[in-house]
Amino acid sequence: MKMTLDLDLAAEAKAMVALAFRNGPIEDLHAGRPCTVCSGNLEISHISDEEMKAIMKSAVNTLYRLLWQRDCDPVAYNENLALGRRYTMHWDDPELKKPISKGSRPR
């Protein structure tokens, strides 16, 4: 089946990403000054293991809460999505292409 763009689903996905990632620990990393020495160098890690763990843990916790609300507290879920949508009004819609696997990521 060919995937098509559903604008409501795209808005929901963007809102969830804003709530789970953008408004999480990654925002603290992004708020700092860029490293002028290593900027753009893919050979240098830009996030420590501890920072990555904190980002993923926060995202999982937030997505779990949102998915739980979707099933058990739809009013709270819709209120949270409305908040997330305010952050993403001008974000690009999803691209409907196959995701790049970790092993084939360009370096």
pLDDT band at 78 (very low <50, low <70, confident <90, very high): very high
pLDDT, one tens digit per residue, over 33-61 is 777 777 777 777 778 899 889 999 999 99
CA separation for the pair 77, 79 (Å, rounded)? 5
For residue 19, CA distances in Å to 16, 53, 66 come to 5, 17, 9
* pTM summary value: 0.76
Number of C-beta neighbours around residue 2 at 10 A: 4
Give me the amino acid identity at 62. T
